[in-house]
Copies of this chain bind each other. A is one copy, B any other.
Amino acid sequence: MTGRLAIVGLGPGAPELITPLASNILAAATDLVGYAPYLARVPERPGQRRHASDNREELARARQALELATAGKSVAVVSSGDPGVFAMAGAVFEAIEDGKFGWKDIEVTVVPGISAMLAAAARVGAPLGHDFCVISPSDNLKPWDLVLKRLEAAAAGDFVIVLYNPASKARPWQLGEAFRLIARHRAGSTPVIFAHAISQAGERIEITTLGQADPANADMHTLIIIGSSATRLIAKGGRPVFVYTPRHAELVEP
């Protein structure tokens, strides 16, 4: 008997940002699979089994979940934010495609969640109010030249740019290079947002500019949003309180 597998988005952290659909599926699962700190966000239920793993083990975790589903379990793989944006859903589909033939017969559903970019944008206003690009500048799973090509295209296209996973101990210089590349296309006064651990204990938001942005302020829990030429600040008492990108836009030549 083949079971079911749901890949469930927990949102950015706060319980009140988990959808009822996600909560219901988590409550009904026989087995929960995920990175330990994300599993810890899910309320305990008697009889439910938890399979916690380390952060780096995405493909192994996906295969474990598929094995459990093959054995007839009702499995929920938990993911922070939205499972489809730089998260677990990609790993599960890779495992299905490359793995055992029977895995294609498992009933797989993806349950969307509030992604980190939507939560971070909401905290400061509406910086994603117009065309934007979402990029992971990590070169763990792609060549650095592809990162540069995409940053260049996004900067040349005058998109608002969202950076997921902007920095880690193993990638200390990449973010600085990304800022320098974008600064060749945009004014130093362009708004930049560092959003750290949004909706979690330790949430911290910095609104700065491209000219002032310090890559050392980012780590693996930070999401960065870099404005387009149209992105604006609304200040009160000399301090920026909102950042937004208007719905209308003009063609700006570099």
Contact = CB atoms under 8 A, between A and B. Distances in A.
A133 B130 contact: no
A149 B251 CA distance: 9
A242 B126 contact: no
Nearest to A244: B93
Interface residues of A, number: 80
Oligomer: number of copies: 2
A56 interface: no
Nearest to A137: B131
A110 B122 contact: yes
A234 to B, nearest CB: 5
A85 B157 contact: no
A243 to B, nearest CB: 9
Nearest to A103: B234
A14 B232 CA distance: 33
A96 interface: yes
A138 B189 CA distance: 28
Contacts of A246: 90, 93-94
A14 to B, nearest CB: 7
A50 interface: no
A17 B242 CA distance: 27
A11 B22 CA distance: 13
A197 interface: no
Given A129-B85, A146-B249, A19 B21 contact: no
Interface in A110-158: 110-115, 118-119, 121-123, 125-136, 141-143, 145-146, 149-150, 152-154, 156-158
A112 B104 CA distance: 34
A143 B234 contact: no
Interface in A158-201: 158-159
Nearest to A85: B128
B21 A126 contact: no
A129 B19 contact: no
A244 B19 CA distance: 23
A19 B114 CA distance: 9
A231 B157 CA distance: 22
Contacts of A112: 17, 114, 118-119, 121-122
Given A115-B115, A133-B133, A149-B158, 6 more contacts: A84-B126, A85-B129, A89-B125, A90-B246, A145-B251, A153-B157
